[in-house]
Chain A
Amino acid sequence: MKNRITNLFSTKNKGILSVFYTAGFPNMDSTVTIAKLLDQSGADIIEIGIPFSDPVADGPTIQQSNKIALDNGMSVKLLIEQVKEIRKQNVKVPIILMGYLNPVMQYGIEKFVKDAAEAGADGLILPDMPLYEYEEHYKSLFEANNLCNTFLISPTTSEERIKRIDSLTKGFIYAVSASSTTGAKNTFADEQVQYFEKLNGMSLINPFLIGFGISNNHTFSKASEYSAGAIVGSAFINLLKDSKDLDTDILNFVKQLKG
């Protein structure tokens, strides 16, 4: 079977919207509901976060969603079951699981890769896994299970390292828009745009999506000018936190972002 992520990028290279949310937030069973609604609303990729007690790369919004999810009893084991359920409910878009290494390590990295793929996930993002560790221990495992692997790059990542990351990536690269933790921002500064231009000009093997600070149609379409699309996280979590009517709110959110 073809991987849904590589499939998507082979048919579409502009305006891809990936939406991130934390598994088990705001309620334990929200994981499945939200995936269905995002699929129906026209999101291109669903990125589900694995909650962790110490999310050092995240700003307050995602930190809080992690805490609530853990208080709800969320775990890696339950997430695998929820991904199965999402696929059972006929959600067709690519699913990526993203999380800090420790919970995955305790589940067992090999077991996690196999179980995630079997449940219907298409890719993983483990931001604190070192490149050499992936290359030496897990690359073949990911390949054998037909899972994409995405690494992050940031404005301070050297060109040499970007190329190395590109060579180890399957699917797409996650370009962090600024030297910052996660969080919604309204606009991009000039140096951010220059950084996107630089990436765009590097003729990388893989497409890249821009994440961190994407919150509205302005930032989404600006990011899309230089990349295959963008990832929205904190702005979506904020919506989930306050929403009284998920069906309508998610539909409007995706529509408004894509413009």
Chain B
Amino acid sequence: MNYKVNDRGYYGNFGGAYIPEMLYPNVEELRNNYLKIISEEGFKKEFYDLLKNYVGRPSPLYFAGRLSQKHSTKIYLKREDLCHTGSHKINNTIGQILVAKRLGKQKIIAETGAGQHGVATATVCALIGMECTVYMGKVDMERQKPNVERMRILGAKVVPALSGNMTLKDATNEAMRHWINNPTDTHYIIGSVVGPHPYPDMVARFQSVISEEIKKQLEEQEGNPYPDYVFACVGGGSNAAGAFFNFLDDEHVNLVAVEAAGKGINSGESAATTALGKPGVLHGSKTLLIQTEDGQVIEPYSISAGLDYPGIGPIHSHLFEVGRAKFVSATDDEAMDAGIGLSKLEGIIPAVESAHAIAALDQFQFDKDDIVVVNLSGRGDKDLETYIRWGKY
């Protein structure tokens, strides 16, 4: 079984580039150049140098002793929460801005939901010295005020998306419209493994540093590079794609993707795409999509603004369809409990997104010798208000 993208941009039945002609030249320019650019020695040197000295990589692989005890197994946390700007998102934005520079682009646009990708984009734009515009749903701007100001402090312009429900999906629509209107001097830094080919593959490659490091670190700490399980939360799915990437062909490694069930899969307020979605086309790729019978996209819900996207990246639709990854979900309640639980057990307050991955541990029966890696994609600082409102600590 092949889990990587084919030369047309498909993962099995999913992916491709379903875009109006006005976007075709931009996407085609990227498609024709991305592999060449990212395999250049000069690019790799600059990329890894920034990951090391600017982002703070490799991020630790921490043996979580008390959490392991609770689950009677060996659990490691991949500490993406310790990356500069507070999540794995920066791995991708560093990669893409270096690509943009080599394509001769002068301006950057991005979409953001919770603001993590927006902050990571604003950060690299400040680093490289490029003009940065971030589209963010008006509702999200109100919900995530500190991140809006972080982006502004970093010099980015934050534009409210006023269409639709004014959240992540609509911010993505607005960013695409901006790109249609500014095709030559602008690069669009998409924040997840979504969008038209080559975005899902390019973003997955930049995030694959996560599993590259896990392998090395497990080899050092356990004498064996292969875990029995890798857990990661999935909104669009970039941290999961990165955590799974270098284990895809090692079928004995169980990959577990954790979606946000919101208030319950059948509550009408959920973001569990594999449970609720059907194949469809949104934002340039064919993928599983939460939608009505008539093909209108349904606004998803999760307590975590980073997971409330109506689709998942095409790579995940494929992994789900062929059964290579197991897809489970955690509700708001389960995630919040798990986030508070991890804080008390290990002294780590996780992002609410990442807390979903922790919550899913309860659904598994592990052997005591199993090696379980949970990708802790982000830190909880940005979610303090959500934790406070939740209150049960």
Mark A residues whose CB is within 8 Å of B: 52-60, 63, 67, 70, 75-77, 100-107, 127-130, 132-133, 151-154, 156-158, 161, 176, 179-181
Contacts and interface: CB of A to CB of B under 8 A. Distances in A.
A127 B281 CA distance: 12
Interface in B1-39: 8, 16-22, 24-26
B173 interface: yes
Contact of A179 (B164, B181, B297): B181
Contacts of B291: 102, 106
A83 B281 CA distance: 25
26 contacts: A54-B164, A54-B283, A55-B173, A56-B176, A56-B177, A56-B180, A57-B20, A59-B177, A60-B163, A63-B163, A102-B280, A103-B296, A105-B279, A105-B295, A107-B294, A128-B18, A130-B17, A133-B16, A153-B21, A154-B21, A156-B183, A157-B24, A176-B21, A179-B184, A180-B180, A181-B181
Contacts of A133: 16
A53 B295 CA distance: 9
Nearest to B284: A128
Contacts of A158: 25
Contacts of A55: 173
Given A63-B163, A130-B17, A180-B181, A106 B22 contact: no
B180 A76 contact: no
B180 A181 contact: yes
Nearest to A50: B295
A109 B9 CA distance: 21
A169 to B, nearest CB: 12
Most A-side CB within 10 Å, residue of B180, B279, B280, B284: B180
Contacts of A104: 295
B280 A106 contact: yes
B282 A54 contact: yes
A151 B283 CA distance: 19
A105 B280 CA distance: 7
B288 to A, nearest CB: 12
A57 B22 contact: yes
Contacts of A76: 294-295
B107 interface: no
Contacts of A52: 295-296
B369 interface: no
Interface string B151-184: 0000000000001100001000100110011111
B21 A53 contact: no
Given A102-B289, A127-B20, A179-B181, A157 B25 contact: yes
B7 to A, nearest CB: 12
Nearest to B8: A132
Contacts of A102: 280-282, 289, 291, 295, 297
Nearest 8 pairs of A and B residues by beta carbon:
A106-B295, A103-B295, A152-B21, A156-B25, A57-B20, A127-B20, A53-B296, A75-B294
Contact of A107 (B21, B284, B295, B297): B295
Given A105-B281, A179-B181, A129 B18 contact: yes
Given A54-B173, A56-B173, A106-B280, A101 B183 contact: no
A50 to B, nearest CB: 9
Given A70-B296, A102-B281, A102-B291, A54 B18 contact: no
Interface of B: 8, 16-22, 24-26, 163-164, 169, 173, 176-177, 180-184, 278-284, 289, 291, 293-297
A151 B169 CA distance: 26
B22 A179 contact: yes
A156 B177 CA distance: 15
B293 A106 contact: yes
Nearest to B176: A56
Given A102-B297, A105-B279, 15 more contacts: A54-B164, A57-B20, A67-B164, A76-B294, A102-B289, A105-B281, A107-B294, A127-B20, A128-B20, A152-B20, A154-B25, A176-B21, A179-B180, A179-B184, A181-B181
A251 B241 CA distance: 56
A130 B294 contact: no
A176 B181 CA distance: 12
A138 to B, nearest CB: 14
Contacts of B21: 127, 151-154, 157, 176
Contact of B169 (A54, A105, A129, A157): A54
B21, B163, B181, B293, most chain A CB atoms within 10 A? B21
A107 B295 CA distance: 8
Given A54-B169, A106-B293, A180 B281 contact: no
A30 B284 CA distance: 31
Contacts of B284: 128
B194 to A, nearest CB: 13
A169 B25 CA distance: 19
Contact of A180 (B16, B22, B294): B22
Nearest to A104: B295
A52 B184 CA distance: 28
A179 B289 contact: no
A130 B181 contact: no
A102 B297 CA distance: 9
Nearest to B294: A75
Among B177, B182, B284, B291, the one with the most A-chain Cβ atoms within 10 Å of its Cβ is B177
B22 A176 contact: yes
Nearest to A151: B21
B133 to A, nearest CB: 16
Nearest to B26: A156
A103 B16 CA distance: 18
Contacts of B184: 156, 179
Nearest to B299: A53
A158 B18 CA distance: 18
A101 B22 contact: no
B180 A57 contact: yes
Contacts of A132: 8
Contacts of A154: 21-22, 24-25
